[in-house]
């Protein structure tokens, strides 16, 4: 009886003491892939692309990003848990009213959207982003923009990763009240460049360029997020 009473008292004290301490989260951030409607393949590159970039950032930038990527729907309140959301695909994209309003709130609250055209996305995503920010247009970012000059230097802007239409890669942005809220790589295909080498047989040099530019995007987005 005395042993039982001692154990009960000890357990009560232990619970009281441990409840007064907050356990620090294992990871500082998690980033996610955007799941959207319209028939386009939002899941393109899902297996290795973002996980490889996260691993690269945690090694090269000493970030503490959860190695497991999130998947978040455009309409979900969960999107506010992610400082950066990555979007890619080849086909159609449709944002309904709820999704449009949610994405606008997310971006105005400090979130960041990176769009990587996997070829065939351009004609759709421009119309849908116009629904989110009717007052804004995509502008091509100058080569001296900070996103090209984080840890890694890209003095000529985006690297060319995959050939689409024999055009130069371009980095476009949506800027709201002086803040870049969305970065869009076009004729570049960064997301493909992050994938494991056996998927596209890209050279190590090409993959490294893609990962370094991706790390710059992560670094820039996190810096802006911490300032909000």
CATH of the domain at 94: 3.40.50.12140
58 backbone dihedrals φ, ψ, rounded to 5°: -65, -30
> Domain total for the chain?
1
Mean pLDDT per 10-residue segment, the chain (228 residues): 43 40 70 96 94 98 97 98 96 97 98 95 96 98 98 97 87 97 96 92 94 98 85
In a domain, 33, yes or no: yes
**Predicted local confidence at residue 170, as pLDDT:** 97
**Predicted local confidence at residue 25, as pLDDT:** 64
83 close to 27: Cβ distance less than 8 angstroms: no
**Predicted local confidence at residue 191, as pLDDT:** 93
Angle at 163 between CA 57 and CA 189, to 5 degrees: 30
In a domain, 66, yes or no: yes
Residue 1 CB contacts under 8 Å (≥ 6 apart), including other chains: none
3-state secondary structure string across the chain: CHHHHHHHHHHHHHHHHHHCCCCCCCCCECCEEEECECCCCCCCCCCCHHHHHHHHHHHHCCCCECCCCEEEECCCHHHHHCCEEEEEECCCCECCHHHHHHHHHHHHCCCEEEEEECCCCHHHHHHHHHHHCCCCCCEECCCCCHHHECCCECCCCCCCCCCCCCCCCEEEEEEECCEEEEEEEECCCHHHHHCCHHHHCCCHHHHHHHHHHHHHHHHHHHHHHHHC
**Predicted local confidence at residue 50, as pLDDT:** 97
Residue 192 CA to residue 143 CA, distance in Å, equals 22
* Cross-strand bridge partners of residue 223: none
Residue 208 CA to residue 32 CA, distance in Å, equals 21
* Host domain of residue 213: 27-227
Residue 89 CB contacts under 8 Å (≥ 6 apart), including other chains: 36, 40, 41, 42, 44, 118, 120, 121
In a domain, 22, yes or no: no
In a domain, 16, yes or no: no
């Amino acid at each position: 009886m005395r042993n039982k009473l001692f154990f009960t008292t000890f357990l009560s004290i232990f619970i009281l003491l441990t409840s007064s301490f907050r356990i620090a989260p294992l990871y500082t951030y998690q980033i996610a892939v955007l799941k959207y409607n319209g028939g386009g393949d939002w899941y393109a590159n899902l297996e290795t692309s973002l996980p490889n970039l996260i691993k690269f950032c945690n090694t090269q930038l000493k970030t503490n990003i959860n190695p497991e990527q999130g998947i978040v729907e455009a309409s979900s309140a969960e999107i506010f848990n992610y400082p950066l959301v990555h979007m890619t695909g080849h086909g159609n994209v449709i944002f309904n009213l709820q999704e449009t309003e949610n994405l606008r709130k997310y971006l105005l609250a400090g979130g960041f959207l990176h769009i990587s055209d996997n070829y065939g996305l351009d004609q759709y995503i421009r119309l849908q982003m116009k629904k989110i920010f009717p007052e804004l247009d995509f502008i091509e970012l100058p080569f001296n923009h900070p996103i090209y000059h984080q840890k890694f230097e890209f003095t000529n802007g985006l690297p060319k990763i995959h050939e689409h239409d024999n055009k130069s890669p371009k980095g476009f942005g949506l800027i709201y009240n002086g803040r870049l809220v969305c970065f869009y790589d076009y004729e570049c295909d960064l997301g493909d460049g992050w994938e494991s080498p056996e998927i596209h047989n890209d050279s190590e040099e090409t993959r490294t360029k893609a990962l370094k530019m991706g790390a710059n995007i992560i670094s820039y987005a996190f810096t802006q997020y911490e300032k909000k």
